[in-house]
Structure 1
Amino acid sequence: MTEPFKPGPEAVDLMARETCFQGFYRLDRLTLRHRLFEGGMGPVINRELFVRHDAVCVLPYDPQQDRVVLIEQFRVGAMGKSETPWLLELVAGLIDKDEEPEEVARREALEEADLQLTSLWPITTYYPSPGGSNERVHLFLGRCDSSGAGGVHGLAEEGEDIRVHVVPFEDALALMRDGRLDNAASMLALQWLALNRTEVRGLWT
């Protein structure tokens, strides 16, 4: 194995940064050059960066019933690319206030699914698309009681219209295998739970 690349502070020369668009999200254009693996600095390049708040995604899991809670809502990014732009997903929200990721997970579970999370299990933190966005996602498993879960929830003032589904764990895996659950956070969380389910149920039941 080759020696790992260990860049220092001088590895990136940020020459200019301008904001091209500022709305709920922001788009910046960066002019920069960076160090090459073989040494020296590379050519000047331009990159657009989608500037987003970091996000929190949580898979509510009922260890007693071995069921997960998924939500379904309209997603504009899926228009024209999927059979339907109503996607099955995890409970999720942005860290757009002075909150810890765990606080966001619990708040969003109440707002989007009317669920109380009694414990949180950190799964991982990752960049969903670092080639063009600075968003980082905090992924959790959340312990819940799925009895009585369901219905339509969300904040009307945020245009949310969210339907809740309670799904046996094995059925959720089948949805993923069939391509009906096709977003990264949901797939990561379900695969993690498939690998760690015995330990989770042992500690949470």
Structure 2
Amino acid sequence: MANHTRPVEDETTGAFAKVADAPESWPVERSEERYRGAKCSMRTDWVEMPGAHGQGRAVAARDYMDHPGASAIVALDSRGRVLLQRQYRHPTQHTLWELPAGLIDGDGEGPLATARRELVEEASLRAATWHRLPDFYPSTGFSNERIHVFLARDLTEVPEEEIDFVREHEETDLASEWLPLPEAVRAVMEGRLHNGATVIGILAAHAASQDGFVSLPVASDD
């Protein structure tokens, strides 16, 4: 009987290795800001496209949200529980259970610095150990938003007097729960959680836990 099993090395270092996203930018004939809000703006770019059937270049308008990006944190305590917080999200008309997260909007602040700040502000926690989980673009046809996801462990509580932040609006109604990581995975697979960073972060953290997180890269803002 023929053996149709592919060698493992072919999948990790051979032909499949070329399947990886890569930076690329097509020429933009002109660009126009349509709207600017507190968190993001809307732009139209007129992008040079390949012409159909060898007919030369074409120009097409592409509308998108220009977004600063965000960081999300899988905060895992010493008992293997992940922190989730319930927050009202008006565009979805839902309250959603989410990871602590926030915009990368501080002066000169990178993704990891944002994650550290948000963990203090939203959860009153600091972490001694930080690793990177997969980052992602939540809506590639509509926005340039990129969400960076981190695993935070070795947690300690931050005294209230050390927190220089006042919660307002939706954040005043935050509720928190600590779920064992397998239970958080169950909530994802049963369709009870819908926030993209939360789904990706929980599943990635669970996959990384299988080898005790040793394969995860250490997080840095370099």
1:88 aligned to 2:97?
yes
Q: What CA distance in whole angstroms lies between the structure 1 residues aligned with 2:133 and 2:54?
A: 36
- Post-superposition offset of 1:77: 2.1
How many angstroms apart in 1 are the aligned matches of 2:82 and 2:109? Answer: 25
1:110-149 equivalences under 5 Å are 110-145=120-155
| Bigger radius of gyration among the two | 2
Q: Could you tell me how far apart the structure 1 residues matched to 2:137 and 2:23 are?
A: 21
CA 115–8 in structure 1, closer or farther in 2 if over 3 Å, else same: closer
Q: Which residue of 1 aligns with 2:190?
A: 178
Q: Which runs of 5+ in 1 are unaligned?
A: 80-84, 148-153
2:171 pairs with 1:156:
no
Letter in 1 for 2:59: V
For structure 2, which runs of at least 5 residues remain unmatched after alignment? 1-14, 158-164, 216-222
Corresponding position of 2:201: 189
Evaluate the alpha carbon distance shift between residue 132 and residue 99 of structure 1 in structure 2; reply closer, same or farther with a 3 A threshold: same
Conserved 8 A contact 2:76-2:153: yes
Equivalenced residue count is 189
Question: Which of residues 108, 114, 123 in structure 2 aligns to 1:104?
Answer: 114
The equivalent of 2:7 in structure 1 is none
Deviations 1:9-28 (A, max 9, x none): 8x723111111111112111
What is the percentage of aligned positions where both structures have the same residue? 27
TM-score normalised by the chain length of structure 1: 0.79
CA distance in 2, matches of 1:8, 1:56: 20
Is 2:35 the partner of 1:35? no
- Whole-Å separation in 1 of the counterparts to 2:96 and 2:196: 12
How far did 1:198 drift? Answer: 3.3
**Counterpart amino acid of 1:56?**
S
Dislocated runs of 4+, deviation >2 Å: 34-43, 144-147, 154-159, 198-203
- Answer yes or no: is 1:66 the counterpart of 2:80: yes
Change (3 A) 1:34 1:89: same
SS in 2 for 1:93: strand
Indicate if the aligned counterparts of 1:70 and 1:90 stay in contact, CA closer than 8 A. Answer: yes
Alignment partner of 1:15 out of 20, 29, 36:
29
- 1:150-203: CA deviation from partner (whole Å, max 9, x where unpaired): xxxx84346523211111112211211221111221111111122121333679
Deviation of the 1:112 alpha carbon: 0.8
How far is the alpha carbon of 1:69 from its aligned partner?
0.5
> Structure 1, residues 97-119: CA drift from partner, whole Å, max 9, x if none?
21121111111011111111121
